[in-house]
Chain A
Amino acid sequence: EAQVTQNPRYLITVTGKKLTVTCSQNMNHEYMSWYRQDPGLGLRQIYYSMNVEVTDKGDVPEGYKVSRKEKRNFPLILESPSPNQTSLYFCASTSTGFYNEQFFGPGTRLTVL
């Protein structure tokens, strides 16, 4: 089954404690993204990756890092989380071709105290 998986689904942490949210896709897509979803703001792109070892900033990259060492994995790293990073995070993988359809993971709800 084609899918995007994320872990953990829920996480409560404290300010300054480094964390990583993993993302993996099994569709051999080159393009992957991370979004955060906040009420009234929709989805905002944090980082994206066009291919292995190729990453770039989205609209709201401050406080986040990513890496793309393998095509299937695209982890999101918060080196020093702060309360304003409390949000719902989605990883997405995009099919190549004309439609650019995005496939989303189930989401990670992060709370930073």
Chain B
Amino acid sequence: GNSVTQMEGPVTLSEEAFLTINCTYTATGYPSLFWYVQYPGEGLQLLLKATKADDKGSNKGFEATYRKETTSFHLEKGSVQVSDSAVYFCALSLTNNNDMRFGAGTRLTVKP
């Protein structure tokens, strides 16, 4: 079946550190890939997306590249801020339906 596996947290970094959160997927067909972010007390918000191999999604300094050969979509940011503290979810959706699968989420805490 279709599924997403992301690195377990929590992740704690100092401000301006480099961030990587790993995400790999299993899918039949050709999925679209997403990163969602959940700030404390809020619902999930779309952070970035990519729809085909080698696409790079980017937003707010975050980036992720759709790697078909390694079935991965790792989230990176060169210099994190305290305001980036949140839970990050990797997700996939097949383009022929609306079924979305989420990873377990990775909690990021950035300390000043």
How far apart sit A45 and B101, CA to CA, in the bound complex (Å)?
A: 9
A107 touches B32 (CB 8 A): no
Q: Which residues of A contact B93 (CB under 8 A)?
A: 100
Q: Which residues of B contact A100 (CB under 8 A)?
A: 32, 93, 95, 98, 100
Q: Is B110 an interface residue (CB 8 A)?
A: no
B100 touches A102 (CB 8 A): yes
Q: Is A34 an interface residue (CB 8 A)?
A: no
B32 touches A99 (CB 8 A): yes
A94 touches B98 (CB 8 A): yes
**Chain A: interface secondary structure?**
strand
From known contacts A42-B105, A43-B89, A98-B51, infer whether A90 and B98 are also in contact, taking CB-CB under 8 Å: no
- Give the size of the chain B interface in residues (CB under 8 angstroms): 21
How far apart sit A31 and B96, CA to CA, in the bound complex (Å)?
A: 13
A90 touches B46 (CB 8 A): no
How far apart sit A101 and B51, CA to CA, in the bound complex (Å)?
A: 11
Q: Which residues of B contact A98 (CB under 8 A)?
A: 32, 51, 95
B104 touches A106 (CB 8 A): no
* 21 A/B residue pairs, CB under 8 Å, sorted by A: A35-B102, A41-B104, A42-B102, A43-B89, A43-B102, A45-B99, A48-B99, A90-B43, A94-B98, A94-B100, A98-B95, A99-B32, A99-B49, A99-B51, A100-B98, A100-B100, A101-B34, A102-B46, A104-B45, A106-B42, A107-B41
A: residues with CB less than 8 A from B are: 4, 31, 33, 35, 40-43, 45, 48, 50, 90, 92, 94, 98-102, 104-107
